[in-house]
Amino acid sequence: MDLDERARRWERRRDRLINVASPLGLVLAWEVAAQLGLIDTRFFPAPSSVAVALLASVHSGELANHVLMSLQRLFIGFVLGGVPALALGIVMGISRPVRAFIDPLIAATYPIPKSSIMPLILLVFGLGEGSKIIMVAIGVFYPVAINATAGVLQINCIYLDVGKSFNAGRWDTFRTIALPGALPFIMTGVKLGVGLGLVLIAVAEMVGAKSGIGYMIWSAWETFSVERMYVGLFAIAMIGFALTAALNEIERRIIPWKADS
Amino acid sequence: MSSGGPPVSAARDPAKIRIGHLTKRFGSQIALDDISIDIAEGSFFVIVGPSGCGKTTLLRILGGLDAMTQGTIEIRGAAAGRPQHSIVFQGDSIFPWMTVWDNAAYGLRMRKAPKAETDAIVEHYLDRTGLTRYAHFYPHQLSGGMRQRVSIARAFANDPEILLMDEPFSALDEQNRTILQQELLRIWEDDKKTVVFITHSVDEAVTLGDRIMVMSASPGRAKIVIDVPFERPRNVLELRQDPRYGDIVYRIWGYLKDEVERARS
């Protein structure tokens, strides 16, 4: 391992440390402010009292139950929306007619705030699991499809010429050029999609659900147990944080050619 | 100077590539006008010309990336299973998502060569290009000169009938260009494949080529073909001290000068 490599590794470790330091700093400042009475603890209870509520809900298994429910919906919705989006996005990138056909549909429906179609989804899919999963799927679909298309389109023509000059067939061109060439964009789409999916699952679970983090937050509001509400918020923040970290790690593994940043 | 008629000059050796009355039009614009050349088997053929003379278009047609409007191209003795040509492109053309090794193996893998054969050939050319140490590096970890070496290794490893090179060193600095020219000659001496090499640099043309075709611009025409008298193997630095070197460079500039002036007016 040369010096450059060592320096880069150190930098990466340092960046990760800083990533952890900023949220911890925020919590610390909050605790101090609450203890000193600088903020109204009816609305902003001290992190320590939230921690007590957190421990209680961990103990009772309530939190794990809600988290697992939300993650399960998120995962199914992600697969249901992400896989077709990936396929469609890449095909749109490769084929001009398909792009010309689908593009206006996406352009017309994309700006609609996904949360605003919630009532329609409830109407069609009912109050059960289906509507929640569909909400996530819709949220994931757009960023993945749009980024996959953009990813294919931005591939430098010279790489396609190289493929052609080495007699790469259709499948080989897809496998060795289109897919890896678009992968950095696709990963960006996946990250955006997961983020949006998390937003939508929380919203969806506030209506007519009996489980999940969204439900937990909503029911805490109804019973005015503010600490529990914060436990829910904390849990959803942690899910977002963990998913982002996991996706970054996946990205690092499957896109090793991306310059270290 | 020459347009139409017989090939600009008859080759001494049997022709590997025979281009007859090749014309390329983009709409109403004539990019290449009635070009006929014979390129001898095992020779290093350089095409030099001002930018916009269509030399890259000619190479792309030879490489099957563009279609010609009229004319014929014959490539003699294409053995079954062996690819007809490999191209070394101008600028960065190696895949950023593949390691040096995978890039060099690309052509062999695309034609489903047996793994043992692929490994042996790739190993050989990585060694010849001085890349063995970097086999598992990704292109972004390499300098521009190293990346162009990968591109050369990729083209050679594919073991084509002819090698097509489109200004492969134009993006490199002077020192790197000189080093890579020498390396290219060294690798080429091993088995003397027929090479068609495009450049806008007269010095590069004289340094590398056995024969040089000077092209004129708009429309692109074959102006003259010049034999380069230097023996092989060549040393690219010592070559420049040879009195004949200056003469031949001066002669080619003479042909190009009219072109450059014409393009300016």
**DSSP of A227-247:** HHHHHHHHHHHHHHHHHHHHH
Spell out, as residue ranges, where chain B has pLDDT lower than 70.
1-13, 78-80, 263, 265
pLDDT for residue B5: 42
Answer yes or no: are the C-beta atoms of B194 and B41 closer than 8 Å. yes
**Which of A165, A177, A257 is closest, CB to CB, to B86?**
A165
If one counts every other C-beta atom within 10 angstroms of the C-beta of residue A227, the result is 19
Of A19-33, A63-77, A145-159, the one with minimum mean pLDDT is: A19-33
Cβ atoms of B61 and B22 within 8 Å: the answer is yes
- Please report residues of B whose CB lies closer than 8 A to that of A163: 110
Q: Which structural domain, as residue segments, surrounds residue A96? A: 65-205+237-254
Q: Which pLDDT score, from 0 to 100, does residue B51 have?
A: 83
Q: Could you tell me which chain A residue has the CA closest to the CA of B66?
A: A161
Phi, psi of B223 (to 5 degrees): -85, -50
**Nearest CB to B95 within list A159, A255, A258:** A159
Asked if the Cβ–Cβ distance from B139 to A172 is below 8 Å, we say: no
Which positions ≥6 away from B255 have C-beta within 8 Å? B214, B223, B224
Query: How many structural domains are present in chain A?
Result: 1
Query: Rounded CA gap, B147 and B168, in Å?
Result: 11
Half-sphere exposure of B252 (CA within 13 A, CB side): 29
CB atoms within 10 A of CB B92: 17
Q: Report d(CA A27, CA A46) in Å as an integer.
A: 9
Pure H helices in B23-143: 55-62, 100-104, 106-110, 115-128
Indicate which of B92, B95, B141 best probes the interface with A, i.e. most A CBs within 10 Å of its own CB: B95
Whole-number percent of chain A with pLDDT over 90: 78
pLDDT in the model for residue B83 = 87
Could you tell me the CA-to-CA distances from A80 to A106, A132, A195 in Å, in that order? 17, 12, 16
- How close is the nearest chain A Cα to the Cα of B8, in Å? 28
Interface test with A, best of B60, B97, B156 (most A CBs within 10 A): B97
Q: Which of A152, A157, A159, A165 to mutate to test the interface with B (most CBs of B within 10 A)?
A: A165
Distance from C-alpha of A92 to C-alpha of A101, rounded to nearest angstrom: 9
Strands ordered across the beta sheet of B70-75: B29-40, B15-26, B70-75
Residues of A with CB under 8 A from a CB of B: 158-159, 161-168, 172, 176-177, 180-181, 183, 255-259
> From the list B63, B111, B138, which residue is nearest A256 (CB)?
B138
Is the pLDDT at A194 greater than 80? The verdict is: yes
- Asked whether residue A179 is assigned to any structural domain, the reply reads yes
Domain ranges of chain B: 15-264
| Interface contact A167-B111, CB threshold 8 A | yes
Written as six digits, the tokens of B80 are: 């079954």
The ipTM assigned to this model is 0.88
What is the pLDDT of chain B when averaged over all its residues?
Answer: 90
Q: Is residue A36 part of a domain?
A: no
User: Across the interface, do A165 and B111 touch by the CB < 8 Å criterion?
Assistant: no
pLDDT digits 0-9 by tens, A10-43: 988 898 888 889 889 998 999 999 999 999 988 9
Q: Which residues contact B220 (CB under 8 A, 6 or more apart)?
A: B30, B31, B32, B33, B35, B49, B53, B54, B55, B57, B58
CA–CA min distance A101, chain B (Å): 28
Tokens of B142: 């390499």
Is residue A79 situated within a structural domain?
Answer: yes
CA distance B250 to chain A (A): 35
CA B162 to chain centroid: 9
pLDDT the model gives residue B78: 64
- Domain with A248 in it: what CATH number? 1.10.3720.10
Are the C-beta atoms of residues B144 and B175 closer than 8 Å to each other? no
Contact B258, B52 (CB under 8 A): no
Q: Look at residue A3 in the predicted model and tell me its pLDDT.
A: 75
Please name every residue paired with B17 in a beta bridge, in sequence order, or none if there are none: B39, B75
Domain B15-264 coded CATH 3.40.50.12500: no
Answer yes or no: is A228 within a domain: no
Nearest beta carbon to residue A165 from set B65, B111, B140: B65
Residues of B in contact with A180 (CB under 8 A): 95, 97-98
Between CA B232 and CA A31 the distance in angstroms is 81
E strand or H helix at B44, and its extent?
strand B44-48
CA dihedral sign, ordered B88, B89, B92, B98: negative
* Alpha carbon distance, N-terminus to C-terminus of chain B: 19
A162 contacts in chain B (CB < 8 Å)? 87, 89, 93, 95, 106
CB < 8 Å to A168, chain B: 110
- Chain A residues within an 8 Å CB radius of B89: 158, 161-162
Burial of A4 (0-12, 13-18, 19+ CB in 10 A): exposed
